[in-house]
Amino acid sequence: MNRRGEAAERFAERRRQEDAAPRLRDVVPDLVSCRIEITQGRSEAMTADIAHTRHVVVERAPALLVVACYESSCRDGGHDISSTLLRGLRERRRSIEGEETCHGTVGAGYCGRVLRFIAAAEYKTAT
């Protein structure tokens, strides 16, 4: 299969996993909004190579958050921040920080790119 085909296949697989996952709204019913700031870099350097913000669409987002590895030659990589994020959301924390290392491969080596995230969440106030 060519590279484009592989990328399409991986994308389709990710969509299947997202569709199969429970909805974020069902897992954390009180969640109103969630914004995640993501920085990706090499483990040995503290300076971020790439930073972006992801706004979670609470109404229809899956309770599965996998950020693709930014290293374009990385195979089977990615950062699954779901478990850290969901744990924080269940505890109704307004700020959740986490770090995930990519376990993909680049060429014959280990990828090891590091993703750090800070999520800012808001919840319905208890009545």
Binding residues for Zn ion (CB under 5 A) = 69, 71, 74, 77, 102, 104, 111, 113
Min separation Cβ 109 and Zn ion, Å: 10
Nearer to Zn ion, 76 or 97 (CB): 76
Nearer to Zn ion, 79 or 89 (CB): 79
Within its chain, how far is the Cα of 112 from the centroid?
16
Min separation Cβ 76 and Zn ion, Å: 8
Burial category of 40 from C-beta neighbours within 10 Å (exposed 0-12, middle 13-18, buried 19 and up): buried
Rounded CA separation 102/3 (Å) = 20
Nearer to Zn ion, 112 or 118 (CB): 112
Nearer to Zn ion, 71 or 100 (CB): 71
Between the alpha carbon of residue 46 and those of residues 9, 40, 103, the distances in Å are 33, 10, 19
Min separation Cβ 126 and Zn ion, Å: 40
∠21-23-27 over CA atoms, to 5°?
Answer: 105
Residue whose Cβ sits closest to Zn ion:
77
